[in-house]
Structure 1
């Protein structure tokens, strides 16, 4: 299953709801999601991983590249909807040092 995204804007936050797999095939979709979310330079982008069923090491690298782009554009990045497993992966890879992990926003 490929990666899909939906974007909602709430105040100064671009909420990106992701669904599918984050692996090497997800690069174009993740780039498109970031490009759409970063329009207008929101204060932060919240990546909602609730619908993501798989992230491999290449997917983690793609997320790191999104963080680097956001940082260079002074846009904060938050993650929500991580399973306990992926929350642990974010901690051991130290991604959680650079991305704030929050609970999903209620719509």
Structure 2
């Protein structure tokens, strides 16, 4: 299996920080994810939305990285939402109960609106 380097880009949308995950979520993604989290939360957002639209394979270490983000979010009282998960990974997030700690939406608009962003449109 070919792995794709993990990248994470942060952008803001009406008070919500959106972290776009690109590539595989595994041990090699830790640095990119940590840097993105720091950037996303440096100016306190209303919420953080994780985009999995362009992510590939997520292994157990990648799941652990997401758990770490959830722990930090909970500590700082920042809601997290996600979107773009394949049916397979959505099921894994439900089985592992990650879905109990973050809302999983179908698209970015739903995630941002659910987080309180785009209140006027």
The answer to whether the superposition gives a TM-score over 0.5 is: yes
TM range (shorter): over 0.9
Q: Secondary structure at the match of 1:66?
A: helix
Partner of 2:117: none
Once the 2 structures are TM-superposed, how far is the Cα of residue 41 of structure 1 from its aligned partner?
A: 1.1
Q: Which structure is higher in strand share? A: 1
When Rg is computed on C-alpha atoms for both structures, the one with the higher figure is 2
Q: Secondary structure at the match of 1:38?
A: helix
Partner of 2:44: 41
Aligned length: 106
Alignment RMSD: 0.9
TM-score (norm 2): 0.84
Deviations along 1:14-68, one digit per CA (max 9) or x if unpaired, are 0111100101111111101111111111010000001011100111001000110
Q: How many Å separate the matches in 1 of 2:106 and 2:56? A: 17
Once the 2 structures are TM-superposed, how far is the Cα of residue 103 of structure 1 from its aligned partner?
A: 2.2
- The match for 2:65 among 58, 62, 66 is 62
TM-score (norm 1): 0.95
Q: Tell whether 2:28 aligns with 1:25.
A: yes
- Structure 2 unaligned regions, length at least 5: 110-121
